[in-house]
Amino acid sequence: MYRGQVTLLLCLKLNSEEVSVAEWLNQVPEDIEAERSLLATCAGSGAREIAADVISTLNEDDFIVPKHRIIFKALRTLVQNQIEISAITLKDVIDQNGELNLCEGFIGITELLASPEVGEPSVLADLLRRKTKLRKLIKISAQMGQLAGIDEKDPELLIEEIAGELYRLKESSDLRRKGLMSTEQVSERVFERIHKRLKTKGYLGVPTGFPSVDDVTQGFQEGNLIVLAARPGVGKTSLALNWILRSAQVHSTKGAFFSLEMSHEEVFLRLLSSLTKINMKDIQSGRINDDQLNQLYAGRDTLVTLPIYVCDQASITVPQIEAMILKHQSSNNQRLDFVIIDYLQLISSPESSRGSRQNEAIRIGEISRGLKLIAKNYQIPIIVLSQLNREVEHRTGGKPQLSDLRDSGAIEQDADVVAFIHRRMNPSPESNQPDNHAELLIAKHRNGPTANLPLIFQPDHATYYALDRTTDGLDSLS
């Protein structure tokens, strides 16, 4: 029944009144004899190496019988602690965990260990993993059937959410097959990256187009989560758009910008204003002359050739972001070089969208962890913008600190780089700093130095420059 038609049959059953989801899920893919045989083999005399190899590729979910799960956990404990495996030592561990009665006592353990071998351990382990994957597919299909029955659920969002779940299932299966890598194998991957980045002026990561930033970070590294944080109105969206624009102009990098606040048109307008240096308000109000109109057309012709992709979906979850990345790379046969998300606190979660009152700090932590996993799985840097707490406004000097990150604990832990934008919004009369003076404070850098980098912000056309434009090599971009 489960050979190839399980998802189709599930959907058909869900649309009938003959069987409930719970009843259907009771008909799960399983191989109890394979479970028994594998456990017996791992607990056999002289099977320590076999047990270690098998246990490293399995987990409790791969055993559907509760008794088998308990014995598997005990086997794993013995292997991890390098204790001899026998019926006696298994009984001791299970008894310490208070689960001996669930295994039908010592007799239940010895009976299971006497099970006949029905195949090679590696083959049996692979079989159990495949059964687990089928069970998870059934669960995802059941969720899909239930959610599809909710009229107000956007089918496009549902498709993207399910696609993300399926991708994570595939990735988790791939990860469980990974083992230790030799330095020779690792070196091949490292030097592949080195040669790949020779074209980006020596940076090992994805460059921002701001040499002063790239000199410190060596470009944003593959698999990294980068947090760019500031108070509202400081210009974090402008800096992020400057990065994606200049990186595309100078290094031909392919970037995706997820805007949870602005529309496609607003994002394009900001990029156009920054590129042409024409006041954004003048463009919006139509107060431009013929020369400026020609500049805008020229700017448009430049922008449409750049590999910049924009999503303006306001309510979006981490699985949907992941699904869009996967869809883009599959349909365009092009790997994105980096992703920018504006901003973290606006990302939805499946729980909150179904009315959950989940603690906000926990919710944000789950989102930041999800973004980090996407960055790692796809081996691309993800730059996520974030808000700061109000406390920073009351601090002398007003410079942000890591503790100012809103719902900061998990964000700070997950991020490989944390950078703050600091601007004097209302400089004192005696200050000799202009209104547009700014600093990029790299407060956390997991694999490199921290730094304070001076910048100039021109709000009329939403553009940042390095303070010393000549030495920073940005004149050609102004």
DSSP 8-state assignment for residue 348:
B
pLDDT at 448: 86
Q: Residue type at 103?
A: C
* CA distances to 98, 120, 174, 185, 416 from 189, in Å: 47, 33, 18, 7, 21
Q: Name the nearest CA neighbour of 44 among 114, 129, 130, 92.
A: 114
Distance CA 229, CA 417 (A): 11
pLDDT at 202: 66
Residue 416 above 50 pLDDT?
A: yes
Could you give the percent of the chain with pLDDT greater than 90?
10
**Cα 318 to the center of its chain, rounded Å:** 7
Q: Name the nearest CA neighbour of 108 among 62, 71, 74, 60.
A: 71
Q: For the residues 316-327, what does the mean pLDDT come to?
A: 82
Q: For the residues 220-227, what does the mean pLDDT come to?
A: 91
CATH numbers and ranges of domains, the chain: 6-148 (1.10.860.10), 197-477 (3.40.50.300)
Helix (H, G, I), strand (E, B) or coil at 341: strand
Q: Residue type at 423?
A: R
User: For residues 271 and 452, is the Cβ–Cβ distance under 8 A?
Assistant: no
pLDDT at 210: 87
Distance CA 17, CA 15 (A): 7
**Cα 260 to the center of its chain, rounded Å:** 17
Residue 90 above 60 pLDDT?
A: yes
Could you give the percent of the chain with pLDDT greater than 70?
73
Summarised one tens digit per residue, pLDDT across range 350-361 is: 654 444 445 777
pLDDT at 140: 77
**Lowest mean pLDDT segment, chosen from 33-47, 218-232, 239-253:** 33-47
Summarised one tens digit per residue, pLDDT across range 367-379 is: 888 899 889 888 8
Confidence of residue 15 (pLDDT cuts 50, 70, 90): very low
pLDDT at 469: 42
Summarised one tens digit per residue, pLDDT across range 426-462 is: 655 555 555 678 889 998 998 889 888 988 888 888 8
Summarised one tens digit per residue, pLDDT across range 58-79 is: 888 889 888 898 888 888 888 8
Residue 11 above 50 pLDDT?
A: no
Q: For the residues 182-198, what does the mean pLDDT come to?
A: 67
Residue 477 above 50 pLDDT?
A: no
Residue 341 above 90 pLDDT?
A: yes
pLDDT at 356: 46
Q: For the residues 319-339, what does the mean pLDDT come to?
A: 79
| φ, ψ dihedrals at 255, nearest 5° | -125, 145
pLDDT at 59: 81
Between 152 and 77, the higher pLDDT residue: 77
pLDDT at 164: 67
Triad 193, 195, 201: Cα angle to 5°: 100
Confidence of residue 3 (pLDDT cuts 50, 70, 90): very low
User: For residues 260 and 347, is the Cβ–Cβ distance under 8 A?
Assistant: yes
Structure tokens at 308: 């910049």
Residue 94 above 60 pLDDT?
A: yes
Distance CA 400, CA 269 (A): 30
Helix-then-strand count for the chain, H and E = 19, 9
Mean pLDDT of the chain: 78
Q: For the residues 191-203, what does the mean pLDDT come to?
A: 65
Distance CA 453, CA 441 (A): 6
DSSP 8-state assignment for residue 317:
B
**Cα 155 to the center of its chain, rounded Å:** 23
pLDDT at 371: 92
Helix H or strand E segment including 453:
strand 451-458
Distance CA 79, CA 12 (A): 45
| φ, ψ dihedrals at 222, nearest 5° | -60, 135
Structure tokens at 178: 């990974």
pLDDT at 333: 64
Summarised one tens digit per residue, pLDDT across range 252-307 is: 889 999 999 888 889 888 998 988 998 888 888 888 888 888 988 998 899 889 99
Distance CA 406, CA 473 (A): 34
Contacts of 223 (CB under 8 A, 6+ apart): 375, 376, 379, 380, 381
Residue 7 above 60 pLDDT?
A: no
- What angle, 0 to 180 degrees and rounded to 10, lies between the N-to-C axes of helices 236-251 and 264-276? 70
Contacts of 60 (CB under 8 A, 6+ apart): 69, 72, 73
